[in-house]
Structure 1
Amino acid sequence: MPDDPSWPTVDGDEVDREPPTVQVRRPEPPTMRIPAPVRATPVRVPPKPVAPATAAPPTEIKSEPEPVPEPITEREDPPAPAGRRKRPFVLGAAAVLVVALAGTAVVGTQQGWFDTTPAPTTAAPLPPAPVSLSVKGVGADGTPPTAAGVRSVLAGPAANGLLAPLTGVVVDPATGTALWNQGETTPQTPASTIKILTAAAALLTLDHTSQFSTKVVRGAQPGSVVLVGGGDPTLSSLPAGQTTVYPGAATIDDLAAQVRAAGGQVTQVQYDVSRYAGPGTAPGWHPDDVPGGYVAPIEPVMLDGGREDPTKDEVRRTSTPAAVAAQALARRLGVTAVAAGVAPPGAQVLGEVKSAPVDRLVENLMQISDNVLAETMAREVAKARGLEPSFAGAAQAVRDVLTEHGFDLSTATIVDGSGLSPNDKVPAKLLADVLTAAAKPDASDPRTAKLRPLLTALPVAGGSGTLAGRYEQWGAGGRGWVRAKTGTLTAVNTLAGVVLDTDGRLLVFAFMSFNAGETARVRGALDELAAALRSCGC
Structure 2
Amino acid sequence: MKPLKIGIICLLSTAIAQADITQDANHLIDQIDPHLNIGVEIKDLTTHQYLYKRHAQNSFIPASNMKLFSTAAALLALGPDYHFTNKLTTDATNWDKHELKGHLYVHLSGDPSFSSARLAAMINSLKQQSIQSIQGDVVLVSRYQNISPYAPGGMTEDLPFGYGAPIAPLVLDHNRFMLTVNPNDTAGKPAILETSHQTQQHMLINKVITKKDAKNCHIHFTIDATQALVLNGCIGLTEHALVQELAVRTPLLYTQKVLKHLLQEAGIALKGHIILGQAPHQTLLLSQDKSPSIAQLIAKTLKHSDNLYADSLFLHTADKLSGRPLNWEKAQQVIKPFLHVQTGIDLNSAIFSDGSGLSRYDLLTPDQTVQLLTFLYQRFPIAYEYIAALPVSGRDGTLQKRLKKP
What SS does the aligned partner of 1:424 have?
Answer: coil
* Distance apart, 1:192 and its partner CA: 0.8
8 Å CA contact 1:269–1:326 kept in 2: the answer is no
Residue 123 of structure 2 corresponds to which residue in structure 1? 256
Aligned mate of 2:71, from 187, 193, 199: 199
Output the CA distance in 2 between the equivalents of 1:162 and 1:333: 61
Greater relative contact order (CA < 8 Å, ≥ 6 in sequence): 2
- C-alpha distance in 1, partners of 2:391/2:31? 24
Q: Does 1:151 find its partner at 2:18?
A: no
Give the partner amino acid of 1:296.
A
**Which residue is equivalent to 1:172?**
44
Moved more, 314-323 or 426-435: 314-323
Q: Does 1:281 align with 2:155?
A: no
The answer to whether the Cα contact below 8 Å between 1:296 and 1:321 also exists between their aligned partners in 2 is no
* Aligned partners of 1:462 and 1:470 also within 8 Å: yes
Comparing 360-369 and 268-277, the one that deviates more: 268-277
Deviations 1:16-59 (A, max 9, x none): xxxxxxxxxxxxxxxxxxxxxxxxxxxxxxxxxxxxxxxxxxxx
SS class of match (1:356): strand
Query: How far does residue 306 in structure 1 lie from its aligned partner after superposition?
Result: 0.2
Q: CA offset at residue 229 of structure 1?
A: 1.0
Partner of 2:113: 234
- Partner SS, residue 369 of structure 2: helix
1:353 maps to amino acid: D
Structure-2 separation of matches of 1:453 and 1:290: 32
How far 1:226 moved relative to its partner?
A: 1.7
Q: What RMSD over aligned residues (CA atoms) do the two structures have, in Å?
A: 2.7
Match of 1:266 among 115, 130, 134: 134
Amino acid corresponding to residue 400 of structure 2 in structure 1: A
Q: Give the Å deviation of 1:307.
A: 0.9
User: How is 1:218-233 mapped onto 2 (pairs within 5 angstroms)?
Assistant: 218-219=90-91, 222=101, 224-233=103-112
Return the TM-score normalized by structure 1: 0.54
In terms of mean alpha carbon deviation, does 221-230 or 459-468 score higher?
A: 221-230
- Larger Cα Rg: Structure 1 or Structure 2? 1
Tell me the distance in 1 between the aligned counterparts of 2:42 and 2:244: 32
CA–CA distance in structure 2, aligned partners of residues 425 and 271 of structure 1: 35
Question: Which residue number in structure 2 is paired with residue 399 of structure 1?
Answer: 336
* Per-residue deviation, residues 358-414 of structure 1 (Å, max 9, x unmatched): 111111111111111111111121122216422112222221121102011122122
Structure 1 gap segments, 5+ residues each: 1-142, 239-250, 441-446, 479-538
Which AA in structure 1 matches 2:104? V
Give 1:381's match in structure 2, choosing from 297, 317, 320: 317
Match of 2:366 in 1: 428
User: Is 2:260 the counterpart of 1:330?
Assistant: yes
Q: What's 2:387 paired with? A: 455
**Structure 1 range deviating more: 191-200 or 283-292:** 283-292
Contact 2:113–2:291, Cα closer than 8 Å, also in 1: yes
Question: What residue in structure 1 maps to residue 82 of structure 2?
Answer: 210
Contact 1:438 1:449 in 2 (8 A): no
Matched-pair contact (CA < 8 Å) for 1:395–1:414 = yes
Q: Which residue of 2 aligns with 1:533?
A: none
Distance across 1 between alignment mates of 2:257 and 2:53: 53
Choose from 382, 385, 399 the match for 1:467: 399
* Shift in Å, 1:341: 2.1
Identity of aligned residues (%): 26
Partners in 2 of 1:148 and 1:368 — Cα distance?
36
CA distance in 1, matches of 2:77, 2:363: 23
Alpha-carbon separation, structure 2, partners of 1:469 and 1:362: 21
TM-score (norm: length of structure 2): 0.70
For 1:290 and 1:217, how far apart are their aligned partners in 2?
34
Report which of the two has the higher share of helix. Answer: 2
1:345 aligns with 2:217: no
CA distance in structure 1 between the partners assigned to 2:377 and 2:24 by the alignment? 22
Deviations 1:451-484 (A, max 9, x none): 442222111122211112333xxxx434xxxxxx
Taking the aligned partners of 2:102 and 2:256, their CA distance within structure 1 comes to 15
Residue type at the aligned position of 2:363: K
**1:307 counterpart letter in structure 2:** R
Paired residue type of 1:395? Q
Give SS of 1:439's match. helix
Shift of 1:272: 1.0
- Is this contact kept in 2: 1:395–1:417, CA < 8 A? no
Are positions 1:356 and 2:292 aligned together?
Answer: yes
Q: What is the aligned counterpart of 2:376 among 412, 422, 438?
A: 438
**Do 1:379 and 1:393's aligned partners in 2 also have CA atoms closer than 8 Å?**
no
Evaluate the alpha carbon distance shift between residue 362 and residue 431 of structure 1 in structure 2; reply closer, same or farther with a 3 A threshold.
same
CA contact under 8 A between 1:266 and 1:333: conserved in structure 2? no
SS class of match (1:166): coil
- Do 1:290 and 1:318's aligned partners in 2 also have CA atoms closer than 8 Å? no
Does the Cα contact within 8 Å between 1:173 and 1:437 map onto a contact in 2?
A: no
Look up the SS of the partner of 2:360 in the other structure: coil
Question: Match for 2:168: what amino acid?
Answer: E
Runs of at least 5 residues in structure 2 that lack an aligned partner in the other structure? 1-12, 93-99, 179-195, 198-242
Provide Cα deviations, 1:168-197, integer angstroms capped at 9, x if missing partner. 100122343322100010001001111111
